[in-house]
Structure 1
Amino acid sequence: MFLDNLLPDCMGILTAPSAILKRLCRKEMVSFGLLANLNVMKRRKTISGIDSIWDIGANQGQFAFMAHCVWPELPIYSFEPDPDSFVQLQQNFAKYAIPGQPHNVALGAEQASLELRRYANPVNNSFLTRTEHNETESYTKVIVDCTTLDTFSTTLPRTKAALLKLDVQGFELAVIKGSTNFFRHCRYVLAEVSFSSSYTNGAHADEVMLALREHGFECIQLLDLLRDKQTGHILEADMLFVNKRMDGHL
């Protein structure tokens, strides 16, 4: 991971000392690069005026924990379909007194039952098949319930200015398709996108950018980068999008 948007010459650590402390104390919950960026974006008001955080692809609650550290007063609604990861997610919500609710459901383009592939490292769990190059890790399968964000969000307190985090291992376009109404009340989207997909038919970064642009979102920040250690090529990135339509710019 790189901190290109903080300071040059690997000086990013100086901008967010609290992030390195959290990393040392809660290593299993914290990505220093992402937490540092969240702190900086709040301080610079790159992200401002939000009333809730929606965590799609929550895993065990790592992002929820980091978001809670930065915005402790905001409710966080986390969605995780894997039943095993969800147990840990629930425990972390209780352990760290995170306001909001975790939900054991997948979000996609429609209401359905889907087959989730579960890997030894749960961050790789996906509804898509790993590419041949990456299909070396054994997995199990489980059938999970899927609905749309448009449908599920009607059962929760109404948001007027949400921050949506999207980390769904190539399934981004399906989630976006089922979020048309929700996006009208969503101020920011923080999406992990792939430039070299590890999953067959997984969404490419440019497809995610185009789909979000059709809903009025414009990319304003490039956050953590994962690079190929040999070539230096970008494999994945966390990108921040802002809804220009909410601010009357489109």
Structure 2
Amino acid sequence: MLINSFKLFINKIISFTGYKISRLKYIHSSEINLINSINFFRIKSIIDVGANEGQFILRLLKQNFKGNVISFEPIAKAYEKLLINAEKNKQKISWYVAEKCGLGAKDFSNDIFISQHSESSSLLRILPKHTNLKPLSKTISAERINIKKLDNFYDYIKKLDRNIFLKIDTQGYELEVLKGAERTLELIAALVVEVSLVKLYEKQPDWLDIINFLKERNFVIWSVERVMGDVNTGETYQLDIIFVKDNYLVNS
């Protein structure tokens, strides 16, 4: 009773801002939606591609994720912090950081363009559409990195506990990562991929190419989250799309 009275009192105060406290089950939270999807898929292992400093896994740890993780990150400075974060959390989960490398459709070496906001760094050159909205995403340096196929790590991945969840956040390079993961995708129950509805990087593939690529490999869309957009115009720039393998849904 006291809690309800307090809630009514707070609602009266904040109603002037246009908000109110609610426990309605249809109120949406992207963070909760992600962990609820992972729990629903009974995920035991995560492949974290484009890990940066490990922010994605750290978010899941706050939501009490328990399982195995293998992370990939090519930028030296971010990679060092990723190793530290994995070490700090070794008592909570089995978190393996793979060798420092980027992932793509083939094995080669190339420059990665490092943004001031390092999570916006990419193997593709960033476009003004991105930097005009987020000035800290501008390129400040470049670093030579090795790029490998995810399938090169297939023998390790197939030993992971099922079900396996794949996360790809590589700033316009997602389709290339998928092309280098044909065998690995056979092991994947679900995945989340960041896609751009507008061109934010040079030579970035159309977002429909990613959807069609996964559709041809029996993945269907499970959930969509808005990641970035222009609040002044209402235009959406990027989405996080969760896909699930259709035969997994049949067998769930």
Query: What range is the shorter-chain TM-score in?
Result: 0.7 to 0.9
1:124–1:150 Cα change, 3 Å: same
Length, aligned pairs only: 223
- 1:224-245 CA-to-partner distances (Å, cap 9, x unmatched) read 4422112112111111100114
- 1:132-189 CA-to-partner distances (Å, cap 9, x unmatched) read 4446724211111111111123245524421000100000111010111111110001
Q: Does 1:154 align with 2:151?
A: no
Residue type at the aligned position of 1:100: W
Aligned to 2:177: 175
Distance 1:11 1:175 in 2: 42
Distance 1:247 1:108 in 2: 28
Distance 1:39 1:213 in 2: 23
Identity of aligned residues (%): 23
Aligned to 1:82: 75
Q: Secondary structure at the match of 2:42?
A: coil
Distance 1:120 1:100 in 2: 27
Q: CA RMSD in A?
A: 2.6
Partners of 2:121 and 2:139 within 8 A in 1: no
Aligned to 1:102: 97
User: Structure 1 stretches of 5 or more lacking a match?
Assistant: 1-8, 17-31
- TM-score w.r.t. the length of structure 1 is 0.80
Map 1:23-62; keep pairs closer than 5 Å: 34-42=30-38, 45=40, 48-62=41-55
Distance 2:232 2:153 in 1: 43
Match of 1:226 among 222, 228, 249: 228
Aligned to 2:168: 166
Residue 42 (structure 1) shift: 4.7
Residue 71 (structure 1) shift: 5.3
Residue 35 (structure 1) shift: 2.5
Q: Secondary structure at the match of 1:154?
A: helix
Distance 1:42 1:150 in 2: 23
Q: Does 1:127 align with 2:120?
A: no
Q: Secondary structure at the match of 2:182?
A: coil
Larger radius of gyration: 2
Residue type at the aligned position of 1:50: I
User: Structure 2 stretches of 5 or more lacking a match?
Assistant: 1-17
- TM-score w.r.t. the length of structure 2 is 0.79
Distance 2:35 2:128 in 1: 38
Residue type at the aligned position of 2:148: T
Partners of 1:170 and 1:204 within 8 A in 2: no
Task: Tell me which protein shows more helix as a share of its residues.
Answer: 2
